[in-house]
């Protein structure tokens, strides 16, 4: 089997994961006021699930663009680690190809590709196949969701809770150790307080900065005491 | 197409592209600043908490609990923790929220 086809095959579990979440994104983004074209454009150019959901939540709350972009930047800085890891194996690949490969890095594609890394040396075809199919599923799913939602006018069936439920699951998936748990508790209390105390939507970014800072402090103190 | 939305999409696109592209293109071995790494470790939890918890309360000057949101969230927390499925959590959350609508 050619490496490209091998990559396509490796993408199948990712496709199964991305399609339904993409459809959900498309439906909810339309509800937040984006056009189907804007939905497709965002999935194509941003291609970062959590921050896209976060963005439409913030858009519907009237958060200014600058705050949304800043939050997006911080959430996706972690890709630096994955990109650096890939770079070791792709040193002689031309820059335009690297541009395509890097733009399509996701947690999932990284997780799938990492077992193949040593055999991938300067032969990007496996990664290309894996990631092109994955992004196709994401863009296709979100456009399908966007078009489907414009056909249906129903707001029932628990749809108002779709996004909160998704965020709860994304939050729970991030809780890896006790530090994360306490950051969640601190963030929960702070955010409710800030939302009550401050005008507009500053509570999101302020809580994020404060609570992650507290996380660093907790880590330092616990390490000293153990 | 609205211009602010276009700016938002390309702004988000740029800030997601650069951290993906720069290390792969220019670095063979990159030593990530430990402090930044430690802070980033907690940023997703922190920002997701800030999104999740205020939805259980009404906004404005009076803080009041929204029971339908709060009750629907409990099984989703449990399910997400045990099963770790995004799609399953969304479906379960919608079903419980929808069902609660009949009794509340």
**Residue B33: pLDDT band with limits 50, 70, 90:** low
Q: Quick one: closest CA in B to A52, which residue?
A: B12
Radius of gyration of chain A (CA): 19
Q: Does pLDDT of A213 surpass 60?
A: yes
pLDDT at A19: 86
Interval B44-95: pLDDT, tens: 788 889 889 998 987 666 778 889 999 999 999 999 999 988 778 888 998 9
Domain annotation covers residue B85 = yes
Report the distance separating Cα A7 and Cα A132, nearest Å: 9
Interface contact B74, partner A, CB < 8 A: no
Q: Does pLDDT of A30 surpass 90?
A: yes
Domain annotation covers residue B25 = no
Q: Does pLDDT of A107 surpass 90?
A: no
In this prediction, residues A163-183 reach a mean pLDDT of 89
Q: Provide the number of structural domains found in chain B.
A: 1
**Chain A hits for B1, Cβ within 8 Å:** 35, 37-38
In this prediction, residues A131-157 reach a mean pLDDT of 83
> Tokens representing A166?
């998704």
In this prediction, residues A154-169 reach a mean pLDDT of 77
A123 vs A60, which has greater pLDDT? A60
3-state SS track over chain A: CCHHHHHHHHCHHHHHHHHHHHHHHHHHHHHCCCCHHHHHHHHHHCCCHHHHHHHHHHHHCCCCHHHHHHHHHHHHCCHHHHHHHHHCCCCCCCHHHHHHHHHCCCHHHHHHHHHHHHHHCCCCHHHHHHHHHHHHHHHHHHHHHHHHHHHCCCCCCCHHHHHHHHHHHHHHHHCCCHHHHHHHHHHHHHHHHHHHHCCCCHHHHHHHHHHHHHHHHHHHHHHHHC
Could you give the percent of chain B with pLDDT greater than 70? 85
A226 vs A205, which has greater pLDDT? A205
Report the distance separating Cα A48 and Cα B13, nearest Å: 9
Domain annotation covers residue B65 = yes
Question: What range does the domain containing B80 cover?
Answer: 31-103
pLDDT at A35: 94
Helix (H, G, I), strand (E, B) or coil at B62: coil
**Residue A112: pLDDT band with limits 50, 70, 90:** confident
Note whether B50 contacts A211, CB cutoff 8 Å: yes
Domain annotation covers residue B47 = yes
Domain annotation covers residue B9 = no
The whole-angstrom distance between A2's CA and the closest CA on chain B is 24
pLDDT at B60: 63
Which of the given ranges, A5-9, A152-156, A160-164, B56-60, has the highest pLDDT on average? A5-9
Domain annotation covers residue B60 = yes
**Chain B hits for A30, Cβ within 8 Å:** none
Interface contact B48, partner A, CB < 8 A: yes
Domain annotation covers residue B23 = no
Q: Does pLDDT of A111 surpass 80?
A: no
In this prediction, residues A185-212 reach a mean pLDDT of 88
CB-closest option in A75, A165, A205 to B76 = A165
Measured CA angle at A112 (ends A96, B17), to 5 deg? 35
Q: Which of B40, B41, B46 to mutate to test binding with chain A, by most A CBs within 10 Å of its CB?
A: B46
The whole-angstrom distance between A173's CA and the closest CA on chain B is 7
**Chain B hits for A167, Cβ within 8 Å:** 48, 51-52
pLDDT at A159: 74
pLDDT at B92: 94
The 10 Å Cβ neighbour count of residue A206 is 17
Q: Quick one: closest CA in A to B41, which residue?
A: A212
Tell me if ipTM is over 0.90: no
Interface contact B70, partner A, CB < 8 A: no
The whole-angstrom distance between B104's CA and the closest CA on chain A is 14
**Residue B29: pLDDT band with limits 50, 70, 90:** very low
Angle, helix A79-87 to helix B3-26, in steps of 10 degrees = 40
What average pLDDT does chain A have?
87
């Amino acid at each position: 089997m050619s490496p490209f086809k091998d990559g396509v095959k490796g993408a199948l579990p990712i496709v199964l994961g991305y399609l339904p979440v993409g459809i959900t994104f498309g439906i909810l983004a339309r509800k937040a006021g984006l056009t189907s074209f804007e939905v497709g454009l965002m999935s194509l150019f941003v291609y970062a699930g959590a921050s896209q959901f976060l963005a439409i939540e913030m858009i519907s709350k009237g958060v200014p663009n600058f705050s949304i972009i800043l939050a997006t930047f911080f959430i996706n800085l972690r890709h630096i680690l994955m990109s650096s890891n890939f770079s070791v194996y792709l040193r002689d690949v031309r820059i335009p190809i690297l541009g395509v490969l890097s733009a399509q890095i996701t947690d999932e594609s990284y997780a799938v590709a990492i077992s193949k890394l040593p055999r991938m040396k300067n032969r990007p075809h496996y990664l290309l196949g894996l990631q092109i199919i994955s992004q196709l599923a994401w863009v296709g799913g979100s456009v399908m969701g966007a078009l489907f939602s414009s056909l249906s006018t129903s707001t029932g069936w628990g749809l108002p809770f779709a996004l909160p439920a998704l965020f709860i699951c994304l939050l729970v998936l991030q809780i890896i150790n006790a530090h994360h748990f306490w950051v969640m508790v601190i963030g929960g209390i702070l955010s409710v307080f800030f939302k009550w105390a401050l005008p507009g939507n500053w509570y999101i970014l302020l809580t994020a900065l404060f609570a992650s800072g507290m996380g660093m402090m907790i880590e330092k103190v616990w390490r000293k005491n153990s | 197409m609205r211009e602010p939305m276009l700016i938002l999409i390309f702004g988000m696109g740029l800030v997601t592209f650069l951290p993906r592209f720069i290390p792969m293109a220019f670095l063979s071995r990159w030593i990530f600043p430990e402090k930044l790494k430690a802070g980033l470790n907690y940023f997703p939890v922190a920002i997701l908490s800030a999104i999740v918890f205020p939805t259980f309360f009404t906004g404005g000057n009076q803080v009041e609990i929204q029971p339908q949101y709060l009750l629907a969230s409990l099984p989703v927390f449990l399910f997400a923790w045990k099963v770790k499925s995004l799609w399953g959590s969304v479906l379960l959350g919608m079903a419980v929220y929808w069902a609660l609508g009949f009794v509340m």
